[in-house]
Amino acid sequence: MNQKTICGGIIPMLVLVAAMVSHVYSQPKNNAEQVTMELIGQVTNPSPATSIQIGYLTYANGLESELFTGVPNNETNALLTFFSDTVTTRVINNGTIRTINRRGTFMIYLDTTPNGDFADPDTFRDGSPVLTADLRHQVIVDTITSAFTATFTLTVTSVEGFEIGSQYTRLGRVGQKLRLTFFGHLNSPGPPSGYISGMMIGS
């Protein structure tokens, strides 16, 4: 068998393998203003000094597989959930506007047996962690309407690859900076303390 025959057989095989790998593994590159994830959840404030934000992902850039195991799509059948645990560092009142700063940890989990229940926050962190980030966030509350926005600055500290359907992916990379913005409304009396929906942007 001559060299041309060997090369002629190997090159198409390498092309095929590369195509298969690119189909199975996905970690999209995002620009600074691209929406990478969309999230829905609730807020619970166990005390004036602490707050947790829990919920699930409805979209993740690059993932073509369904993120829910049933319909209607909600927390009970979501495969990707999040849990954010924060401590209040400062509160400033400015007329009818209240500004709250917090620090903490944000985590996303893969839950292959979904059981999300907003009455039990721990059900949103009983899966396998796939992304962990340090966070700082600012909440701006309109004390008249009870509407608020919360902006999270996230720095990814660890990621794990995972598979949904036939697709293997990672949601980020260590050191990556992400910006998460939630729009919400306070709920009184709770629980929950509030309802939130938002999006993640990152590069």
List the domain boundaries for the chain. Answer: 27-202
Residue 37 class from Cβ within 10 Å (0-12 exposed, 13-18 middle, 19+ buried)? buried
Q: What is the pLDDT of residue 31?
A: 53
Q: For residues 78 and 68, is the Cβ–Cβ distance under 8 A? A: yes
Q: Please say whether the beta carbons of 123 and 171 come within 8 A.
A: no
Query: DSSP code of 140?
Result: E
Distance CA 185, CA 120 (A): 20
Looking at residue 101, what is its pLDDT? Answer: 98
Ordered per-residue pLDDT tens for the chain, 203 residues: 555 544 455 444 444 444 444 444 444 555 555 779 999 999 999 998 999 999 999 999 988 788 999 999 999 999 999 999 999 999 999 999 999 999 999 999 999 999 999 999 999 999 999 999 999 999 999 999 999 999 999 999 999 999 998 889 999 999 999 999 999 999 998 899 999 999 999 86
Instruction: Report yes or no: 53 and 41 within 8 Å, Cβ to Cβ.
Output: yes
